[in-house]
Structure 1
């Protein structure tokens, strides 16, 4: 929304049936095929362990998404697809990094957030190996750089995985497994479009591979192309100003009648005293008198106590600052994979990837508060010039030398809308040697190099010095409008080549002047990652064998180095443009690690113990930044009978601070701060806010009962402050446990139930509050003696916030728990093969404590208005039903989420009549999808489908919740496989 500049922030995340359906996700890792209980189970290396074992023996809950399920979803964006999973529902998708939402360099990113604990706490792997980050300073991987058509499956593992993979996986791991030994040629094409005729997507994938040297080697190459068209906010009629309703102060309840709601819906909401033509105030009473073109200013219906908004009138509609709903994006990916058996016991493998992505999003125009315009400006209409109040400017500015004039507040739509055009190039290479010593002993060494380069263009980035020179206009001796600096060498600023810009009206400026004022600022970032690792794994065979089998083990060492560099455009560094100032930053760290695992199969095929095994893992790490850390895990699997398996884990995981949190240089920033001590805000915080605000203001000699900065224009402008990293940060530590059961009833072949409880608690969590949050945290703690108050500076005379300093610190904690549920049933009949699958999640708690002793912020079941995709439904599920007969497959999918609270518990506790109780809840999510495919031949398949069949829309007050604003979405395509059946 308006009043927010773009500034650098770090966003603030068994195989499924091949007959899965559009909303299909996947079951918990458990064999569903009744034949699996009769035949020997193959031992493989699975996500979450380096020991070869069958998935039924693994203790961590794993959910697997098959490549076929992805293809049948109709989605070509991995984050969009995975975000349907209850575990990943908080992920950052492309629409959440569009318009005015993203920070510097973030447009178009697709980042996974497991368990609502943040993208930097979700470890993303490719074939069990780390992948370079897509965002400077962060560990978050942009999954847009991972190919979709080359995927074999995606595994999602819950629980601390630091003992196996190192830092970052405190909430779990998402592992993308690529296809191996690809032979033949596959071509897939797909086109998609919304029911409103926009949001087009074009997708094409070409994959070819061959075996050589009599099958000892294989090489495959894959190319993917995808392009998405922009969808603008006002392309959806229900989001246009006259149709969109937002909450504002009930004008019939200014005296806070307990029987009336404090806030009610209004449409056509506008920013008071600001207009595209210019809002002109001639008497400095901060009530606009004229539009810039000389027309009388229609102030509309003033919404008192609403933070400066009106309904109707001449002012700027708030929706004018929304920008894109979905960014324009384009993606090219090339992947090369190969392996060669150098001997029966030695294999060389290599991977190379190049990804080039581009995302371009339109955001918002620049705006100005209270520009002083003097009457010698020839563009000023006579009616405005004649209405100037002599001496008003000098009185207001408390400076007798201030010339007479007017103040103009303007939204500069005619100057050009700001946007961000980001091009990312990702390179990644893997070289590995795998060998076997014997049938039960193997080793592996590998080297991984990854690099992401970003070229970030801030489009129409206003140069502040040129802007101020261009709007300071006078007449030259020939009666022509010119910049004052062209005549007066003492003018400030004095710039050569200045072209006069007319701000009195809309689209009355010279386009050449707009071109002179604006610039496209080009910045660059680079992230690199190097990983060298070696491991030895196997089992002890007959040497030391337990009743349940041989003891499995793995051990090894790893070295990793990460670097990040960010070089903003010089004009952004200098702070002379609309975006900025942003300081160049660089940082790096390395870590040396030793790790080990063991699996003890205690019993098998015994009475009351069909299977009993214990496991453990340990990792010792030495960081160049935080020093030594330890991670560990213990687990157990117990199957009293073949059809019932109990499993559980307990682990300690760590997350080391990322480069941005550690090394970001101190920079200047500007934030719009809502003062929590304002009388209108006292009930919107903790139970201690009112008392703390009273103590704080009394110390300054200010009456808390009369403190209303929201009614004072000077107090509601942008506040200057600083932000930066903190090199004294330490690691976060998480304790996690899971406990579950898998049921495969013998009396119902093909039916599997998996239930797993998880509990994750993070201590010493790193928290970087925004300026408004910092002000709130200062007074929402048990006392004013807390680390946040030191970051807020108040004017000793007025009490207004006049400065702030924000930086990360290990002061927070998180706690989340819940239940993952999976029900899967398949049956073959004479009329076809049926599959019914239900994947669900129950969120029991999601709690955040900002600092020790602070009140618990419990977000369970909430979807706060104006949040950036942050919502926490208590229940979420997907239901998939499919039927296949011969070449025909028909499928139906339902993606559902429970109702959520529109307002936080803290808000309603302090103000029970905050709004009409009918608005307290946000509607459920009901997303119906259908899909169909037909195999024309064994090599050619055609398919089509509709997502969001009933064209469900976002809830009142939201643009993307509980469902995307894209609406009903059609897709169709074909797949040709020259190396085998298309299916």
Structure 2
């Protein structure tokens, strides 16, 4: 009985469209008002289903945020609903695309437009409520946890959930750990799948961008049968999103760098790009000697090095990395989903849910930029000769021009040289990732009588995500070192490797001097393909009961109680060379970790007053959860809230909660994982041998910095230095759980008693979330400042500078800046959500409008306890003002709609600006408004055609170029926030059989 009631309620909510900020009871009331948002055949199907339901369909409902099923249940926390019709109207192949339009969402940490340089998880789609981090947004499917799509994390990959199988999505903002457990610090996204469906629904779609890329193909079939004994549904789907190359957009076609990074001054110059600004790691190599450096021209002639860039991959003195980079990586998805229920008797049913998703993702970046320090990490110097029987024998591959200009720099009696070179012969660095997600849940639900009628549910589930990645473009540094040391062959023959052992293992001398100079045999000897295998598993068992156990004067007292046991495991195993650090990068050992948690919870809804002046209804809601983690021990969560219906048209609501989040496996156990940060300012720039600034003494203490000053008169960065910073992210096994205190207070106004406004709904909600002991990665700029201003010398261990190499202007430049997670001083956000919805008959058809607006008053992190707050509200990726406006009109068979997404003005990171003595908010990024359009035409009751355009007016992304904080490599903007692709169109057909 309970399941029938719930399924009917879901169908009524589907008819309501998006009822932003409106709870389930209001969604039911609005079912005939917002129906025009349903596209042709889908609308008629839903209307027919609704007409068959009896008037008692809303007897008992469970909503996101509460485990208690009750009449006209509503959430005391802000709840926004996204219907199947809204997802269909977006034309999205991925739920992430739709969710990111909601103003409560922050910029995603991972999407297909900002993940090409990810070591793992390329093309994954995650979401981030309130800009508090994806790990603090709990994604549920039908109220239960879903296995993570990223090794070591709790973040769900939305690629694994088919959009056409979704009935609705409920967004609950505010702490909800008491109801759902760890990770719900910022809120919950509960994805409700379809059920009780008869027939077959087919959907075929194709599209591309106005530049003829970003190819999109989609086909899905949703089918099901149902009767009084239960139902069984299934879904099969395929989608393809094609590649978008950086070289195919004018804004990102060539390497560039921010002028502000090169010369301080007028902030108005911040976005004046030095263009082109090609990489100095050129395919023909750059070779450093005692008094300078040289390279080769296109004819193989030795010429002095110049900073004037060349083109493509064969330019004389530069290399355009953007030619090989991507704005969006291609993703192919194969999806299968199913769910069903079977009636055992009138009071008990067995249910199941199953999902299988296979994603194939590829990424390509430029060929490897090799420096001598990658092969000889201690000295950064390559021997130009070998001692053979006590005699110095010159490497015959080393040009005489270079040999005559170098000296012994490390005191071993052998002349040395330093070089940089783009390994174009090795080819691009590419990876192919096969990612498979499997999840199965089954259980028993129903009701039993024990004093009162109790609803119950028990379930067990298993989920697993596996990723197998194969990569190319790296080299074996041991083999490369052997190949660099050559001697003449017997009787003056062709050069051979100096080491007899290496020769026995197939060593072939390598010639790095000049363009395309590496022979195929040498290439085969030094090439080192890589691999990465990851696995994430989730096991869970849970159960709950709920009932209304007493009839109080103001209404029935509702209670719920339950338990959950969960085990999470994750592993990431790179290939042997990577584990040993022998592929020109730092050693990356395998990562393994697991934890278990046992939890119990209780919840109550207490009606306090009813039917008195200005108190139509007043209820208290409370919940408590206790968890016992194998990793961090005990953790408690609670929430307390109220619902106050003042009069029929006005309702007040509020909650206060304590949410906990235990550290995930990556935060605890992650081995160093390589990253490529941007927008960093080295505090040692400009330091001289006698300068007395705040950083100068500690900067000069670094040998490489001192050598750079001796060579240049002051510490100077080259082009390669600016473009060559990397770093590693590390875990911390000593982390404790974080605690988030959340407050929300709001009002819902539904003026049904005012005739002109009877179809209008307005909500306003204040939110304040303060996370103590927040688990964060220490910002790299903060690490630099803390090290060199002497405030925290321990941070210096995370900084690696290039060695002091004679004749190499890169001496002392930043090579690696690592970061590790810790329990920080805190994380805070505060603001207001406003929503409004109205619809009515206008002319021959029906018009509907919806508006959602979020204003973030403040948001900041405290990197370490006692440190100054680092604000993020108002910075790129976290605009203070965001809005979404929908308008739709339906007239007979025609439906048209428009969605406008607004991102307010933002500024560059204040820590970055402070490095140039610029005030916070002094460098602004203008606002952007993106407009999406769709039209559909119902051919028959069973079929409709639809057409849409995303970013219809081709709004350009702001130029957040390389060297500025927030830049997504390869896009020259913040691709998680702004659209780097441009106008795109799609067309399709839906058929109900």
- Alignment counterpart, residue 860 of structure 1, candidates 848, 862, 873: 873
**Who is 2:435 aligned against?**
424
Tell me the distance in 1 between the aligned counterparts of 2:803 and 2:511: 40
The superposition leaves residues 936-957 of structure 1 with CA deviations (integer Å, 9 ceiling, x where unpaired) of 1111111011111111221122
The reply on whether 1:412 has 2:423 as its aligned counterpart is yes
- CA contact 1:232–1:325 (8 Å) conserved in 2: yes
The superposition leaves residues 620-640 of structure 1 with CA deviations (integer Å, 9 ceiling, x where unpaired) of 111111111110000011121
**Who is 2:526 aligned against?**
517
Tell me the distance in 2 between the aligned counterparts of 1:16 and 1:563: 39
Tell me the distance in 2 between the aligned counterparts of 1:803 and 1:332: 39
**Who is 1:335 aligned against?**
337
Alpha-carbon deviation of 1:277? 1.5
- Alignment counterpart, residue 436 of structure 1, candidates 438, 443, 447: 447
- Alignment counterpart, residue 369 of structure 1, candidates 368, 371, 376: 371
Alpha-carbon deviation of 1:500? 4.6
- CA contact 1:98–1:362 (8 Å) conserved in 2: no
**Who is 1:10 aligned against?**
none
Tell me the distance in 2 between the aligned counterparts of 1:280 and 1:291: 13
Taking the TM superposition and a 5 Å limit, the aligned residue runs for 1:268-667 are: 268-272=276-280, 274-281=281-288, 283-288=289-294, 290-291=296-297, 294-297=300-303, 299-300=305-306, 314-317=316-319, 319-320=321-322, 323-370=325-372, 372=382, 374=384, 385-388=399-402, 390=404, 392-394=406-408, 397-399=409-411, 401-403=413-415, 407-438=418-449, 440-472=453-485, 476-477=489-490, 481-485=494-498, 488-489=499-500, 494=503, 496-511=505-520, 513-540=522-549, 544-578=550-584, 580-665=586-671
What SS does the corresponding residue of 1:241 show, helix, strand or coil?
coil
The superposition leaves residues 180-220 of structure 1 with CA deviations (integer Å, 9 ceiling, x where unpaired) of 11211111111110001111011111111112xx5212111
**Who is 2:259 aligned against?**
247
The answer for unaligned runs of 5 or more in structure 2 is 1-9, 34-54, 373-380, 386-393, 805-810, 962-971
**Who is 2:946 aligned against?**
943
- Alignment counterpart, residue 152 of structure 2, candidates 137, 150, 153: 137
- Alignment counterpart, residue 736 of structure 2, candidates 730, 734, 738: 730
- CA contact 1:671–1:718 (8 Å) conserved in 2: no
- Alignment counterpart, residue 83 of structure 1, candidates 76, 80, 100: 100
C-alpha spacing 1:52/1:940, structure 2 compared with 1 (3 Å)? same
The reply on whether 1:52 has 2:32 as its aligned counterpart is no
- Alignment counterpart, residue 43 of structure 1, candidates 60, 64, 76: 60
The reply on whether 1:170 has 2:185 as its aligned counterpart is yes
- CA contact 1:431–1:446 (8 Å) conserved in 2: yes
- CA contact 2:605–2:622 (8 Å) conserved in 1: yes
- CA contact 2:20–2:79 (8 Å) conserved in 1: no
Tell me the distance in 1 between the aligned counterparts of 2:612 and 2:247: 67
Alpha-carbon deviation of 1:615? 0.4
**Who is 2:120 aligned against?**
105
C-alpha spacing 1:16/1:693, structure 2 compared with 1 (3 Å)? farther
Alpha-carbon deviation of 1:563? 0.9
Alpha-carbon deviation of 1:663? 2.4
Alpha-carbon deviation of 1:511? 4.2
**Who is 2:759 aligned against?**
750
Tell me the distance in 2 between the aligned counterparts of 1:291 and 1:188: 56
- CA contact 1:602–1:613 (8 Å) conserved in 2: yes
- CA contact 1:250–1:264 (8 Å) conserved in 2: no
The superposition leaves residues 334-373 of structure 1 with CA deviations (integer Å, 9 ceiling, x where unpaired) of 1121111101111100112211111111123211224747
Tell me the distance in 1 between the aligned counterparts of 2:267 and 2:164: 58
- CA contact 1:616–1:632 (8 Å) conserved in 2: yes
- CA contact 2:623–2:639 (8 Å) conserved in 1: yes
Tell me the distance in 2 between the aligned counterparts of 1:716 and 1:885: 58
Taking the TM superposition and a 5 Å limit, the aligned residue runs for 1:682-701 are: 693=695, 696=698
C-alpha spacing 1:937/1:437, structure 2 compared with 1 (3 Å)? same
Alpha-carbon deviation of 1:606? 3.1
Range that drifts further, 339-348 or 132-141: 132-141
What SS does the corresponding residue of 1:70 show, helix, strand or coil?
helix
C-alpha spacing 1:161/1:569, structure 2 compared with 1 (3 Å)? same
Tell me the distance in 1 between the aligned counterparts of 2:476 and 2:446: 60
- Alignment counterpart, residue 982 of structure 2, candidates 952, 967, 982: 967
C-alpha spacing 1:528/1:909, structure 2 compared with 1 (3 Å)? closer
**Who is 1:65 aligned against?**
82
- CA contact 1:17–1:26 (8 Å) conserved in 2: no
C-alpha spacing 1:731/1:884, structure 2 compared with 1 (3 Å)? same
Tell me the distance in 2 between the aligned counterparts of 1:319 and 1:715: 15
The superposition leaves residues 735-778 of structure 1 with CA deviations (integer Å, 9 ceiling, x where unpaired) of 00111111112321111111111111111112233666523344
Alpha-carbon deviation of 1:607? 2.3
Alpha-carbon deviation of 1:258? 7.5
- CA contact 1:298–1:313 (8 Å) conserved in 2: no
Tell me the distance in 2 between the aligned counterparts of 1:937 and 1:795: 69
Structure-2-length-normalised TM-score = 0.84
The superposition leaves residues 122-177 of structure 1 with CA deviations (integer Å, 9 ceiling, x where unpaired) of 11111010111111111111111111111011111111111011111111111111
Alpha-carbon deviation of 1:513? 4.1
Tell me the distance in 2 between the aligned counterparts of 1:583 and 1:827: 62
Alpha-carbon deviation of 1:98? 3.3
C-alpha spacing 1:164/1:455, structure 2 compared with 1 (3 Å)? same
**Who is 2:4 aligned against?**
none
Tell me the distance in 2 between the aligned counterparts of 1:976 and 1:802: 57
The two structures, once aligned, show a CA RMSD in angstroms of 3.8
The reply on whether 1:846 has 2:859 as its aligned counterpart is yes
Tell me the distance in 2 between the aligned counterparts of 1:694 and 1:250: 20
C-alpha spacing 1:713/1:150, structure 2 compared with 1 (3 Å)? closer
Alpha-carbon deviation of 1:551? 0.5
- CA contact 1:15–1:64 (8 Å) conserved in 2: no
Tell me the distance in 2 between the aligned counterparts of 1:668 and 1:338: 44
What SS does the corresponding residue of 1:586 show, helix, strand or coil?
strand
Tell me the distance in 2 between the aligned counterparts of 1:671 and 1:583: 21
Taking the TM superposition and a 5 Å limit, the aligned residue runs for 1:890-901 are: 890-901=896-907
- CA contact 1:324–1:362 (8 Å) conserved in 2: yes
- CA contact 1:278–1:291 (8 Å) conserved in 2: no
- CA contact 1:347–1:433 (8 Å) conserved in 2: yes
What SS does the corresponding residue of 1:85 show, helix, strand or coil?
coil
What SS does the corresponding residue of 2:168 show, helix, strand or coil?
strand
C-alpha spacing 1:671/1:437, structure 2 compared with 1 (3 Å)? closer
The reply on whether 1:182 has 2:197 as its aligned counterpart is yes
Tell me the distance in 2 between the aligned counterparts of 1:93 and 1:805: 20
The answer for unaligned runs of 5 or more in structure 1 is 1-13, 304-311, 683-688, 864-870, 979-983
What SS does the corresponding residue of 2:425 show, helix, strand or coil?
helix
- CA contact 1:337–1:350 (8 Å) conserved in 2: yes
Tell me the distance in 2 between the aligned counterparts of 1:802 and 1:889: 56
Question: Alignment length, in residue pairs?
Answer: 913
**Who is 1:834 aligned against?**
847
Alpha-carbon deviation of 1:94? 2.8
